[in-house]
């Protein structure tokens, strides 16, 4: 894909402001608690890094990696876990941090997977939410931006492993 085939959707300034608001809300909701953040690789790594540094509560961090088959721009039906957490979450307050929820299949699968480990609480924070594209019922507890259909890149999000490094979020033009 050549330059010029994507247009900016959220600038880094807008993202930073919204991440700060989410961090404030999470910090207030979990005041006096120490939470475990579970980021979903690879897309959420930048969001996790910015979110935890904007929070005013302590946390520990772990990551999972879930893959759906294919590397193109369509999410597939089949979700598999390719990297599990390395921390015990039993009896802990856990917050899953995701870059984008699309069909909801990944989060539905992951929430079920983690609930089996008996955390005290389990919530989900996503930077981006394509609510209209759900194939399964799923509501995140914290949402940065609700977005319409369209394939997004930048700020950790890729298209076939490209564009993750971009500080802003872009939508790929049809």
Q: Which residues here bind ligand 5GP, judged by CB under 6 A?
A: 40, 43, 75, 98-106, 151-153, 157-159
Non-local (6+) Cβ contacts of 171 within 8 A are 6, 7, 9, 150, 151, 152
Pairing of strands 6-10, 169-172: antiparallel
- Of the two residues 75 and 92, which places its CB atom closer to ligand 5GP in the complex? 75
Annotated active-site positions, please? 102
CB of 68 to ligand 5GP, least distance (A): 6
CB of 76 to ligand 5GP, least distance (A): 8
DSSP string, 109-125: HHHHHHHTT--SEEEEE
Q: What's the chain's Rg over C-alpha atoms?
A: 16
Non-local (6+) Cβ contacts of 64 within 8 A are 38, 39, 40, 41, 81, 83, 84, 85, 110
Are the CB atoms for 94 and 121 separated by under 8 Å? yes
CB of 126 to ligand 5GP, least distance (A): 9
- Of the two residues 27 and 68, which places its CB atom closer to ligand 5GP in the complex? 68
- Of the two residues 50 and 98, which places its CB atom closer to ligand 5GP in the complex? 98
CB of 53 to ligand 5GP, least distance (A): 21
Are the CB atoms for 162 and 2 separated by under 8 Å? no
CA dihedral 170, 148, 137, 20 (to 10 degrees): 50
- Of the two residues 57 and 85, which places its CB atom closer to ligand 5GP in the complex? 85
């Amino acid at each position: 894909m050549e330059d010029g085939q994507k247009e900016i959707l959220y600038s880094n300034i807008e993202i930073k402001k919204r991440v700060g608001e989410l961090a404030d809300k999470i910090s207030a909701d979990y005041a006096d608690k120490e939470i475990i953040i579970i980021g979903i690789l690879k897309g959420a790594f930048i969001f996790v890094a910015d979110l935890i540094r904007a929070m005013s509560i302590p946390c520990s961090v772990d990551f999972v990696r879930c893959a759906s088959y294919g590397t193109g721009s369509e999410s597939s039906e089949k979700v598999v876990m390719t990297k599990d957490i390395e921390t015990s979450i039993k009896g802990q307050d856990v917050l899953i941090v995701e870059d984008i929820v699309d069909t909801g299949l990944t989060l539905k699968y992951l929430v079920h997977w983690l609930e089996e480990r008996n955390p005290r609480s389990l919530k989900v924070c996503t930077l981006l939410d394509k609510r209209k594209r759900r194939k399964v019922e799923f509501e995140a507890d914290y949402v940065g931006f609700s977005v319409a259909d369209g394939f997004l890149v930048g700020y950790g999000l890729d298209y076939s492993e490209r564009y993750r490094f971009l500080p802003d979020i872009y939508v790929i033009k049809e």
